[in-house]
Chains A and B, each alone.
Chain A
């Protein structure tokens, strides 16, 4: 029997899958010579070392971070799918209207591109087109800053109050690992006016009702301008999370003594 065949015999025996015939053959080989016994022991050493390594519990934060990321993607998907389903439902029940559906989608996309190119959305007070380039300080004054650190990531949020009563949030994140960052605001009071992504990095971002969500790795910088539709100025929430942990803080649009000074 060649050495390789002997090794397979030992592997099967130690793996618990050797047949009675294989066991008998192995016993015969081991009784025959010292070299077979030495080889058996070498293979047994590898098995022994492997079996001494115990299974490790995953970190407790793993489950939560996975489910948060999944939930976030599910929300984004359902919001993206909403208008698509609406359009499709209008054409889907009537065969032969696939081209009509494609035309309608094309027309909507074309109109959006035209509107964004003309700046119409910004003038109308709706979320603006994503823009890239140097981020100039927002007009007005900076009224609050928050620094957050999660494992592997740091975020700075700044709140600026504009002369026209609006507010701007500037969010900057630096991270060596995948992260999610959220800016949360009361949608009954703050209406998004524009959103600018300053540092393109290939990550994802979603501006939805009451929340800006960013998923990325590396660095990300955003400026979100909001218009307040009420005299009340509740704080905005800033949250950052990585697989290693998360942190959250608040940005207050006006100094704490703002109410007393009026």
Chain B
């Protein structure tokens, strides 16, 4: 969806045409679901989070500053929903102990990689987790990430570098030395 089409959809929603929101949902449901999934590491929870985020975005659409990118705004809402969700989950369920890693000589299956990365991501701060998700799972360029996160490209690069370094250390702790 181009910026103009996006703004037209926002305009129609604000005029009361709720069906125009379909365009926004269709454009962003996949990317936001993947963001939420990697943030909360659970498919059902990710679905709940994305639904809440979209509904909140619709209800607060009149507060959206149109000089910003719509995705940037919805992404921020989704991340906040993820944080709220994780805070609620921490209150309800004691965090599980880390599972032991696969050992240095073990060839990792796809499923194991996903589990290991999912668990390690949860140990990163939200800012670091966010850049990893946007770069590696949503495949945004540094420039696009800079626009979405509203930080400079230099900060994007620096944050990515630190995030990967921490992730490498977390994976090493779990016994991963080679993929």
Contact = CB atoms under 8 A, between A and B. Distances in A.
Interface of A: 7-8, 11-12, 15, 17, 41-43, 45-53, 55-59, 61-63, 65-67, 69-71, 73-74, 77-78, 177-178, 243-244
B30 A244 contact: no
A67 B47 contact: no
B51 A67 contact: no
Given A45-B179, A46-B164, A53-B114, A67 B22 contact: yes
Contact of B47 (A48, A51, A243): A243
A67 B164 contact: no
- Majority secondary structure, A binding face: helix
Interface stretch (B64-72, B93-101, B165-173): B165-173
Contact of B25 (A8, A63, A74): A63
B117 interface: yes
A59 B43 contact: yes
- Majority secondary structure, B binding face: helix
A149 B113 CA distance: 35
Contacts of A50: 117, 132, 136-137, 167
A58 B171 contact: no
Contacts of A11: 157, 160-161, 164
A178 B48 contact: yes
Given A69-B51, A178-B48, A55 B21 contact: no
Interface size class of B (residues with CB under 8 A): 35 or more
Which 9 A-B pairs give the minimum distances between C-beta atoms?
Answer: A74-B18, A58-B33, A50-B136, A48-B179, A66-B54, A46-B168, A49-B179, A11-B161, A70-B58
A166 B165 CA distance: 69
A70 B55 CA distance: 6
B168 A45 contact: yes
B168 A43 contact: yes
A48 B157 CA distance: 18
Contacts of A67: 21-22, 25
A79 to B, nearest CB: 12
A41, A43, A46, A243 — which one has the most chain B CB atoms within 10 A of its CB? A46
A7 B165 contact: yes
Nearest to A44: B179
A56 B33 contact: yes
